Amino acid sequence: MTVERYIRVIAGFFIMASLALGVEQSPIFVSPWFLAFTAFVGLNLFQFGFTNMCPMGFFLRKLGVPDSKACCAQGAGGSCC
């Protein structure tokens, strides 16, 4: 897996977990303040879309997770899709 895929998986997990902990109808409800964490993750994803800079990406790269450059190396002409 690449840095970008890990970011998507981790962000999705954090959003689902914070919703489960913050929505009152959930069986594992703790506090509505967990919805603030959902907003924080959403804002980080929003700014990542514009700036291509993500704090989680820094940590993943330090752990040795590779970036996704395979499609450009395969001669796709600079575009992956």
Point out the least confidently predicted range of 12-26, 33-47, 48-62, 66-80: 66-80
Banded pLDDT at 81 (limits 50, 70, 90) = very low
Question: The pTM is what?
Answer: 0.78
| Tally of CB atoms within 10 A around 18 | 20
The pLDDT of residue 5 is above 80: yes
Residue 73 burial (10 A CB sphere; 0-12, 13-18, 19+)? exposed
CA separation for the pair 57, 48 (Å, rounded): 10
Q: What is the mean pLDDT of residues 13-22?
A: 97
